[in-house]
Chain A
Amino acid sequence: MAIPKLDVFENNSRLPLPIEKKEANLYMSFIYVAFISLFIGGLMGLLQVLVRSGSFTLPWGIGYYQILTLHGVVLALVLTTFFILGFQYALMGKTVGMSAKQRKVSWLAFWVMTIGTAMTAATILVGKASVLYTFYAPLKAHPAFYIGLALVVVGSWIAGFVNWRQLYVWKKDHPGEKSPLLAFMVTINMIMWFIASIGVAVAVLVQFIPWSLGYAETINVLVSRTLFWYFGHPLVYFWLLPAYMAWYAIIPKIIGGKIFSDSLARLSFVLFLFFSIPVGFHHQLTEPGIDPTWKFIQVVLTFMVVIPSLMTAFSMFATFEITGRKKGFGGLFGWLKHLPWKDVRFLAPFIGMLAFIPGGAGGIINASHQMNAVVHNTIWVTGHFHLTVATTVILTFFGITYWLVPHLTGRTLTKEVNRLGIIQTFVWTIGMTIMSGAMHIQGLLGAPRRSAYSDYGGSEQAVEWGAYQMAQAIGGTILFIGITLMVYIFIKLTFFSPKGEEEFPIAEEEENAPATPMWLENWKLWVAITVALILFAYTIPFVDIIQNSPPGSPPFDWPIGNS
């Protein structure tokens, strides 16, 4: 059973839908918060690399771990989530439309999240929550920190519910048609996000908030960590999938090609839904109290989630090659010549794709069970996610910004801004190569992550590490220049670029592409398999953790300077 694709394609009057001014304001609000976060978080990053170089001390009694907490929360949780929701809303608005009521509910999501963000950020800024963005118990932050985080998560759920409703309404109006590819992808990502963030929501609402308020005397540390990482790994796929949306369904349009395979793109997203969540133990490989056999089972499941990324890599290269050959560029690699290297909408995400090659390779190493002991909690890990999230994902998001922001503000991407964007991309690439490269090597030498400058009593190893920390300071400074440039570009695109109409690029399928099988839209089945995999991977070890629990831990606030 397949959908009669060709007929639909012929009278394809539904794509793309116009975005009204009121909708555009909503989408832009999310993106404003994202860019404010980028600047604040980036500034914190700059301060960190300078402190770690050993030649700079923070003024006014500001603590290293205070700025590290702010850096992590504001970039990893706030920037990403706000940008993703803004972008995904725009994709939904463009492909399936948004009603006035849906828009109002979405504003509720925005304000709940923004108030939560402000609460959490303020608590960190006054120095009451230097617990880092993972907030591991039994370190105790001020309750406002946890309440703010809970609001961010709950707000994002509201956004997810609206997205599902948008697709549901569209499907009712278009019986028998497959949902637009981008709407399908957004829906998958929000299902994954919802199922995953239940874990952290339970930890925060049931464990952390009562315990930090004094209603519960102790907390079960291992349970809280297990719930956190049940959420923590799909979190990184929640960042990555919007980048994949752009790679699969937007980049082909920018390079003048077609979607390589609509069904394979959908299949890879379904696989991400299945295998992103039941894998959290690979962040807990060196922890006591978890059965090593179950750790290994989750390692196997982690390796399964590599497969859709292998599919994506093939699809990307194939899109480039097919498009190039159609334009008449032959030879084994002649097709590389046709790619629009001078178009920043392509160049930035492309560099992001390249960064995912070492990023992905490093990820497989991290998840390799006993081998994790080589890299666990070393600065290699920091180097790793600065390639994946801070290069692959963020450069793709920048690539999206260049056309999405002017599209929403009724302006255009000028040649001048395009050139600035290309410079920005190079600055980022150079800065990150230096910083992340130095972090990877220093990590293999054993240097820890999440640590302020220390000479470790003048040890030889610490002296050896010093050179790499100096390199990170140089790379980090270059990256901060890149951030400043990007914020300038954002302001320019939002307020000053010439008025006009910027294209919202959405790629189409080949006219003779094979039909997408109907079974790919079997949402109930996908959710059922996802839940079954989670129950398989977690039930026995989780019951085991609870049954063999040690006495709980009281809150500790003096180690973070509160008492």
Chain B
Amino acid sequence: MHLHKFEKLWLLSGVGALALFLVILGFGAFYLGTHPQSHGITIDPANIEAEEAFQPENLGLTKVDDDKYIVNVVATAFNYDLGVDEDGNAVKNIKIPKGSTVLFQVVTPDVVHGFNIAGTNVNMMVEPGFISSMEVEMKQSGEFTLLCNEYCGVGHHMMFATVEVYE
């Protein structure tokens, strides 16, 4: 089989670029630990409260340390349960200071959902039977929409909350 010399050059540089992408991604993933969300802990979708984090009183934002937070969420069709405030109303808005580290833990007792804080890297699939979990540093301030980005039924587009990152 004959390859034109320019084709050799093209394929070598093309493969070189792909290899460069992979080295950058691999370095981030394996050395810095920025793998995409792949949490492997399972849970019984019919009994999510067996896991302490998803008992009603533990849902929503919890401060665990200076600049360290945990957000536990139960995603159902078509709602994100972020716990209740002092008056017993459902929380639909959480406020986090900029630069803090937040661990998001999300489960669903019903169908597959998405968990995306639009405009950030917090983007995970939420599947019945698994805890989806990722820790991120909130680098940018602003008001972000937390929304379901995997189709979950007729009210899919009504499934949202807001996340405010303040200075």
Contact = CB atoms under 8 A, between A and B. Distances in A.
A413 B3 CA distance: 37
A128 interface: no
Contacts of A25: none
Given A65-B151, A264-B1, A454-B157, A287 B38 contact: yes
B147 A448 contact: yes
A264 B133 CA distance: 46
Contact of B42 (A65, A370, A374, A549): A549
B72 interface: no
B166 interface: no
B94 interface: no
A307 B12 CA distance: 10
Contacts of A290: 38
Contact of B35 (A289, A295, A310, A314): A295
Interface of A: 63, 65, 130, 132, 136-139, 221-222, 225, 261, 263-264, 267, 284-292, 295-296, 299-300, 303, 306-307, 310-311, 314, 318, 364, 368-374, 376-378, 445-454, 456-457, 459-462, 514, 517, 548-553, 556, 558-561
Query: How many B residues are at the interface, by size bracket?
Result: 35 or more
B63 interface: no
A354 B39 CA distance: 39
Contact of A456 (B11, B21, B114, B147): B147
Contacts of A550: 42-45, 128-130
A160 to B, nearest CB: 28
A296 B148 contact: no
B36 A369 contact: yes
A390 B45 CA distance: 38
Interface stretch (B54-62, B83-91, B115-123): B115-123
B46 to A, nearest CB: 7
Contacts of B122: 373
Given A289-B42, A378-B149, A551 B129 contact: yes
22 contacts: A138-B112, A139-B152, A221-B127, A288-B37, A288-B131, A289-B40, A289-B129, A289-B130, A314-B6, A371-B25, A374-B121, A376-B149, A445-B119, A446-B145, A450-B150, A450-B151, A457-B145, A457-B162, A459-B162, A460-B143, A556-B77, A556-B153
B145 A459 contact: yes
A119 B122 CA distance: 39
Nearest to B114: A377
Contacts of A517: 1
B111 interface: yes
A146 to B, nearest CB: 17
A462 B145 contact: yes
Contact of B45 (A63, A370, A446, A551): A551
A136 B108 CA distance: 15
B147 A263 contact: no
Given A314-B7, A370-B36, A553-B129, A454 B111 contact: no
B63 to A, nearest CB: 25
A392 B149 CA distance: 26
A292 B28 CA distance: 12
A417 to B, nearest CB: 37
